[in-house]
Amino acid sequence: MSASDLPSCNDQPSGTHLPPCNDQPPVSALTVDLRDLAAAAHSPVPQAFAADPDLRQILDGQRTSCWTIGGLGLVGFGRAAHVVVTGEDRFTAARDWWDRLTTQLHITDPLNRSATGPVAFGALTFARASTTSSGLVLPELVVGHDDDGAWVTLVSTQPEVQMQDVMAAWTRLVPQLQPVGSRHPDPATAPVAVADPAADRSWCSAVADGVGLISEGKLEKLVLARAVEVRSDAQPLDVPGALRNLAADYSTCWTYSVSVEDHADPSVNRLFGATPERLVRVLDGKLHARVLAGTLDRASVPPGIDPQRWAQQKLLDDPKQRAEHEFAIDSLLGSVSAYTNQVVSSPDPFVLELPNVWHLASDVTAELTPGPDGTVPSALELVEAIHPTAAVCGTPTHAAAEAITQLEGMDRGLYAGPVGWLDSRHNGDFGIALRGGVQRDAHRAELYAGCGVVEASVPAEELAETRAKLRPVLGALGVTPA
């Protein structure tokens, strides 16, 4: 196999672009057990980390891709290859590129389980008409950790990769280990959220218009989002630090980060956040999803009331919250029906407790039906089938998407789109890019939050809900309100 057999700048799917033609493509990948790597002579991997590999300790790099939850998951460093896609066929173009690239890689993976071997991190836009870039990134080095252990995968332009190559890449790419925990900038130099009362009023008016569409029978549910700008004039925004804060403080959420485009400045258009909502996971022929719809701000608990009982009453017994949740469940089940003959959902929704809010949640699992060739659908194929769900768009989907375009007045870009990873075996794990934002440059970011609008929605209450949803990432950045 030669490097010319791999996807190149002159041989690529429509609507995509690859790295410049003078970039040498990767041809091999080696996965090693983290304990073996740490035990090797002159290894840069600390024995203490190999014994307790909490990935939150290495979330400190500028060119880091990640998908972690409670110290488990994947953290990628560097960039061996990437593809940028746009438009209606963005999912298909990304999937085709990945399948071709992994088919032609020489992969040595003695562990041979989900997420070992080459892994791509991906982020795709919410809307097909978005002008924002979607795509996949294949990191040079990935550190992974699951319930069965930890590993390291190196992707290389060399035809053969040895243990010493993995150690050299670790030394070059992996930052110094940091203790797990929150850190915040000096309040005197902390970034600020730019207040915009006119934008708040405009958004509340859009919510009222959405309620009107629902009252007229044109929609059943609509999800409307808004953006808040964060600026840091005194010093650059510390997004790596924010990721570590989110991973520590929201350990039951999936902390994510990926830069689809390859900019000299890694801060440009970097997507980051910590989502509580898993869109779809494919693991060994099974589908797993977590549906969230229905939100309650923990700061709104009346004095003297038991918080847990109050949350149960306000979420489980509230017709508005239950209706919003049922729309989201029905949306997911309808999307996956063609891929499975058996779906199991939580018999009743449960209350998911996060530090800032409670959510009404349901877990869904399904046995995927193999195709004629005996293989099950890939994670990215299912992502395309499921997205957008009612939880981030509305019901009916097409009418809600049109209303979003008319009422929001912005391109959501990667916000509320799929974000996650996929491997060469069709496994993968994707969430919805919520509770986060996009860093535009070293000193500026846009953060996003939305809420489900139904006929009983009150604009001022929905605005308050978006503020509650913005608190995690604002706090992680150390933002002082303007």
C-alpha–C-alpha distance, residues 143 and 248, integer Å: 18
Query: Which tokens is 296 given?
Result: 């309650």
Of the candidates 140, 220, 277, 324, the residue annotated as catalytic is 277
For CA atoms 305, 363, 121, 9, the dihedral sign is negative
Find, among 387, 409, 389, the residue nearest to 210 by Cα.
409
**Using CB atoms within 10 A of its CB, is residue 101 exposed (0-12), middle (13-18) or buried (19+)?**
buried
SS3 string of 350-381? EEEECCCEEEEEEEEEEEECCCCCCCCCCHHH
Map tokens 């993968």 to a residue: 428
- Which of 220, 221, 324, 462 is flagged as catalytic? 221
DSSP strand pairing (286-297 vs 254-258): unpaired
How many alpha carbons lie under 13 Å from residue 102 in its C-beta half-sphere? Answer: 20
Question: pLDDT 10s digit of each residue in the chain, 482 long?
Answer: 333 334 444 444 444 444 433 368 899 999 999 999 999 999 999 999 999 999 999 998 788 999 999 999 999 999 999 999 999 999 999 999 999 999 999 999 999 999 999 999 999 999 999 999 999 999 999 999 999 999 999 999 999 999 999 999 999 999 999 999 877 777 778 899 999 999 999 999 999 999 999 999 999 999 999 999 999 998 999 999 999 999 999 999 999 999 999 998 888 999 999 999 999 999 988 999 988 877 888 888 888 889 888 888 888 888 888 887 888 888 888 888 889 888 887 778 888 888 888 888 889 899 999 888 888 899 999 999 999 988 899 999 999 999 999 999 999 999 999 999 999 998 999 999 999 999 999 999 999 999 999 999 999 999 999 999 999 999 999 997 55
Residue (of 299, 303, 253) closest to 276 by Cα position: 253
**Distance separating alpha carbons of residues 437 and 112, to the nearest angstrom:** 34
Half-sphere CA count of 11, side-chain side, radius 13 A: 9
Annotated active-site residue 314? The verdict is no
Q: Is 465 a catalytic residue?
A: no
Phi, psi of 236 (to 5 degrees): -65, 150
CA angle 52, 58, 61 (to 5 degrees): 175
